[in-house]
Amino acid sequence: MKILLNKTIFLLLLSSFFGCTPEVERSKEQKWLEDINYYHDTLVEKHINLFHTLSEQTFNTDIDKLKAGISELSESQIVMELMRITRMVGDGHTGFSIMSQTHQHFPMRFKLFDGEVRVIKSTKEHQRYLKNKLVAIDDMPIQDILTKLTSIAQNVENEHSLKESLVFTLTQDEVLHGISITRKLGNAKFSFEDEEGQVNHLLISSVDMGSFIANTSYGIKAEKRFFDKSVTHSNRLFLSYDPDIETALLNFAEYGSIDEMTDFAAEVKGFLNEHRVRNLIIDMRANSGGSFFIGLYLISELLQVESLDWERGIYTLIGNYTFSAGMSNATHFKQMMNAKLIGEPTGANPNGYQEIGRFQLPNSQYSISYSKRYYRFQDINTQGVLPDVTINTSWQDFKDGHDMPLEWVVKEINDRL
């Protein structure tokens, strides 16, 4: 017994000498305190100018309040509070990514028209709700929901990107539950008002991101003006051509790699030159970002097309979803190619903080993004890049499948023929 006791003491002393004492399991509260401190210190250190909109005092006070009350909060409430604080930073590239961990979505797509939330895409089984107005979730009125979500919606830079962020956040199961809109995770009662004013209720189950993207493919059919894809990289990056009006449409919704863009841009330049195309419409409305340097390479190739009407024949379509590098390249098309901007203001501001950096919280592993650069694309500050010609799309136009900005451009080209 004495030998065993001496051996035990010896092993304890040995482990202590080599720093190998067993780690005491830290509580969830301790881990979150470590995460919050790391969040604070790393954002302050790495963001190019964290306090450009939010005051340092407010930031520190809110962090201290969160830490002081952490024992009374659930994990989802802590996440919601970190999203709220991040939102207050006030630039679209500084964000708390709830989707960096396991996340579920309600399989419907929405869009705001004059303050009303409309269903614009659904799964096959829920097609009957297309064009309906969303009026409540788990009996909470939609306007109350939008008010609650406004304080935590991420990737927001102005009122235009706020609209885009809100309708996506409406699909996020963990957010709706974390901010006490839905009663439980996994499913919720969505209430819709149809065209006749009849309200119908639907219990929707959330799905993983892959299923959300793949299955919400049933949408409102839009009239098409350009049918063929003369040069194709993907369904989001391609060139179409209408010889009757000597016009090509460049759908620029994604960038690809520099090598992919090099090949694509060369093919586009060759096609435009070969067919002596006079007018070029560049559609940036679904471009939420990438590398604007890759976009500049595309511009460098387009500038070598001699057949284009460089005085009146270049147009760029922009909208609220045009963001980050998409916004930057839209200004480049105007500055470098004399493009006329058509549509609605962009979701990103022309003068602001861009170029994302990222870090992870050490315990919860949530990803935080921050801005590393400040870019200025205009001499004056505006809420988004403003179009030269504003063409708003009403709900009536959208549900009837009319692409009003594109129709305006085609009409102007036809009037010149």
Beta-bridge partner residues of 193:
133, 199
Cα–Cα distance for residue pair 36/40, rounded to 1 Å: 6
**Residue 228 — very low, low, confident or very high, per pLDDT cuts 50/70/90?**
confident
- Residue 23: pLDDT above 50? no
Number of helices (H), then strands (E), in the chain? 13, 19
pTM of the model: 0.91
Residue located via tokens 């863009």 = 261
- Residue 150: pLDDT above 70? yes
Higher pLDDT, residue 24 or 188? 188
Q: Are 251 and 224 in contact (CB under 8 A)?
A: no
Element (DSSP H or E) covering residue 408: helix 404-416
pLDDT digits (tens, 9 = 90+) for 235-265: 999 999 999 999 999 999 999 999 999 999 9
**Residue 25 — very low, low, confident or very high, per pLDDT cuts 50/70/90?**
low
Closest CA to 333 of 376, 379, 283: 283
* Rg (the chain; Cα; Å): 26
pLDDT digits (tens, 9 = 90+) for 282-321: 999 999 999 999 999 999 999 999 999 999 999 999 999 9
DSSP string, 56-87: HHHHHHHHHHHHHTGGGS-HHHHHHHHHHHHH
Side chain identity, residue 104: Q
**Residue 224 — very low, low, confident or very high, per pLDDT cuts 50/70/90?**
confident
pLDDT digits (tens, 9 = 90+) for 373-403: 999 999 999 999 999 999 999 999 999 999 9
Q: In angstroms, what CA-CA distances link 388 with 131, 256, 345, 411? A: 30, 28, 10, 16
Beta-bridge partner residues of 393:
none
- Taking all residues of the chain, what is their mean pLDDT, rounded to a whole number? 93
DSSP E strands: which ranges in 183-278?
A: 187-193, 199-205, 207-208, 218-219, 231-234, 237-242, 247-252
**Domain coordinates in residue numbering, the chain:** 104-219, 231-348+384-416
Give residue 417's pLDDT: 85
Give residue 225's pLDDT: 81
CATH class of 231-348+384-416: alpha beta
Could you tell me the fold of the domain covering 104-219? Pdz3 Domain (2.30.42)
Give residue 21's pLDDT: 44
